[in-house]
Structure formats: structure tokens, C-alpha cells
Amino acid sequence: MPYKAFVSLEKEVHKVTLVFLRLKSLKEKVLEIINNDKTKNYTNYFKIVDNNGEDITSNRKLETAFKTKPVFFFIHFIQNDDNDDEKKYPEEKEEEKEKCHKIVNPLVLLTGASKYKNLDNLPMMKKDLMTFRNLFEEIYGYEVYCTYDPNKPETESLTLNQLNEFLMKYHKNKNKNNYDSLIFVWCGYINTISEKGDILITSDDNRYKPFNKIQELFSFLNKPKIYIKNVYQINGYNNQQYHNCELDTFIIS
């Protein structure tokens, strides 16, 4: 979802919109405002301050600033002795180092339904799930758990109860295996219900799993989360549902 804020530059207030809460993005917006004002000779060196007089020097501080509405930022120009960004924003540089995370032992869950009671079957789902399995298992060397087994034809169907049992099985064991991240894949039908967002449609057609419930279930604190929605049929699906989209969450549709 977009994040809206007001930026005060001297006596003028400008409205800005950020797609993601990144300090770099906010600084780029400020530079656009500065460069668009041809009447004054501004320096490009500045600091950003929030409503409480707190310097915004990291993504974390930017997130905190957006918790207080309306969101105002004040631009203060500074003298630049040299062009060393590390000296200007040391906390930002340190935070970037801390957030650099190499995925070594992820919990990889592949889910999907090929056969449906009332909807058209999706035979390509089986090939796609095996492609994902080969990618994560053979190429990256991760341990993979999948609802579909090519040696068990009955697994071409996936009911809501079976999906819930599969998710709960690995949710209970997530701490025992010291997983450092999550990779979740859905192959199948997806629809969008306004009050629920994206829903995963299981083989029993009239039953579904809200996508945001899966995100809530596997909310690894401060650990990367990758969600891949491999959608076959789109009925009212707007491809823009981001529930609890944190800095460490990446959604591919």
C-alpha cells in the first residue's frame, strides 16, 4: 500500500507518496522537490526530521515516524565537509549491514491443487510444482515440503482441511529446525474478496484459505519471507494485495 506524508521545505509543504518505507526513497523524493524549485539555489545536503524532532537516519526510524498521523517531515540543510555518506548517515549504513541476510536453511512449502470439483482442472499445476521443487531442492539445495507427490495421484487434489493440516504440521516444527526464513508457493486458483483480500481456492471449490492467514501463521520475526502466487485463473484478482507487507517480506504474483 502507498505511504503518504507531507514534507516541509522552508515555508512550503509538499505531499509525497512512498511505495515502500525506505529512507532512500524518501531522500529521492526530497531531492525531486529541491531540484524542481528553480527559484532558489538549494544545497543537496540535508537531514530529515520528523514531528518529534527525531532525525530520520534509518528505515527503522522511518517506520516509527509513520505510526503517528498525519506524517510530517522537515528538511534542514547542512554543511557538507566531504561527500562521505557513511558520515552523514552512519546508522543507515549500519542498519543495511544488519539487514543483509543470506538464506541458508529456509522452510520451503510448496502447495497447490490440480483437480477441482466444479472448476476446470489445472494439469499444468503438477509440472509447475515440480519445477519449483527442482529449483529449490536441486539448484539451491534446500529441503522442500510439497503437498503434491507425482507417485500419489490423490495428491492432485488439495482440500481446505488438507491444506490446513499441511500448514500446521510445519508451523509446529518451525522452531525445532532453526529455519532462518520462509519460502511459500501456491499454484492454483486465486480470487479476491474485498474484505478478505486474496483467497486461495482449494479443490473443494466453495472453500478457501485467506492468503493473509498464511502470512500471520508464519510470521517469522525479523526473518525473510518470500511468497510466490502462481495464479492460473484470475476472477476479480487485482494483483495488489499486500497484507502485513513488512520490510523483510517479498510477494511475487
Tens-digit pLDDT profile for residues 191-247: 876 566 788 999 987 788 988 889 888 876 567 888 998 887 555 544 444 444 455
Cell numbers for 70:
498525519
Please state whether beta strands 249-252 and 225-235 pair in parallel, antiparallel, or not at all (unpaired). Answer: parallel
DSSP string across 72-87 = EEEEEE---SS--HHH
SS3 199: strand
pLDDT per position as a tens digit, 36-52:
876 667 677 889 999 88
Query: Does CATH place domain 106-252 in 3.40.50.1110?
Result: no
CATH of 3-98, one of 3.30.70.980, 3.40.50.2000, 3.10.20.90, 3.40.140.10: 3.10.20.90
Q: Write the CB contacts of 147 (distance below 8 Å, at least 6 apart in sequence).
A: 110, 111, 112, 155, 158, 162, 163, 166
- pTM across the whole model: 0.59
Residue ranges of E strands in the chain: 3-9, 12-18, 46-49, 72-77, 106-112, 144-146, 181-193, 197-201, 208-210, 225-235, 249-252
Q: Which residues pair with 106 in a beta bridge?
A: 181
Distance (Å, whole) CA 190 – CA 197 = 10
Residues of the chain with pLDDT under 50: 86-88, 237-245, 253
**pLDDT at residue 149, as a whole number:** 96
In the chain, domain spans: 3-98, 106-252
Buried b / exposed e over 65-80, threshold 16 CB at 10 Å, is beeeeebebbbeeeee
